[in-house]
């Protein structure tokens, strides 16, 4: 998978955490995602389902395995962070990888709330994901 990350000053740890969680998810690394989720995390896919608890999120989080993950911007302030990204698929899935069977892209906007403002110890308390398939 090709990964494009925005240039960042490195002064906001939450930006690195959110970017790392998205990269881990797109790479299929549920263990790396799990490290940052609070036990009682709530994950809402707008217009879709809401998942309660780390176990539920990890069991139902879709495997996407895009060819490219482009994170356009990530911002953070206090306990909150937001990220704008695009997943691109070539349509050439093999080896049992999940994801779209046709070429295209999916736009993703993720709003994240952490359990505390402590940058290194706070875990992800909630995620609100806006997903638009076929978006440029």
Reduce the DSSP state of residue 84 to 3 states and report it.
strand
pLDDT top residue among 84 and 65: 84
Q: Which two tokens stand for residue 84?
A: 């704008």
Q: What is the pTM of this model?
A: 0.88
| Distance (Å, whole) CA 111 – CA 113 | 7
**2-133: in CATH 3.30.1540.10:** no
Q: What is the pLDDT of residues 29-78, one digit of tens each?
A: 999 999 999 999 999 999 999 999 999 999 988 888 899 999 999 999 99
Q: What is the pLDDT of residues 17-27, one digit of tens each?
A: 999 999 999 99
Cα–chain-centroid distance for residue 43? 11
User: For residue 136, what pLDDT is reported?
Assistant: 60
| Distance (Å, whole) CA 17 – CA 118 | 12
Per domain, the residue ranges of the chain are 2-133
| Distance (Å, whole) CA 29 – CA 16 | 16
Q: Which helix (H) or strand (E) holds 17?
A: helix 13-27
Q: Which two tokens stand for residue 124?
A: 């992800």
Q: What is the pLDDT of residues 91-127, one digit of tens each?
A: 875 544 444 457 899 999 999 999 998 877 899 999 9
């Amino acid at each position: 998978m090709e990964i494009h990350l925005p240039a960042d000053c490195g002064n906001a740890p939450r930006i690195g955490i959110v970017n790392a969680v998205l990269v881990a998810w797109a790479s299929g690394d549920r263990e790396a995602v799990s490290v940052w989720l609070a036990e009682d995390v709530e994950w809402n896919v707008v217009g879709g389902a809401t998942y309660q608890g780390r176990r539920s999120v990890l069991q139902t989080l879709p495997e996407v395995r895009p060819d490219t993950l482009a994170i356009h911007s990530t911002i953070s302030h206090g306990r909150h962070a937001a990220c704008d990204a695009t997943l691109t698929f070539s349509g050439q899935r093999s080896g049992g990888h999940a994801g779209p069977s046709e070429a295209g892209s999916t736009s993703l906007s993720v709003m994240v709330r952490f359990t505390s403002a402590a940058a290194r110890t706070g875990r992800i308390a909630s995620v609100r994901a806006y997903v638009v398939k076929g978006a440029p």
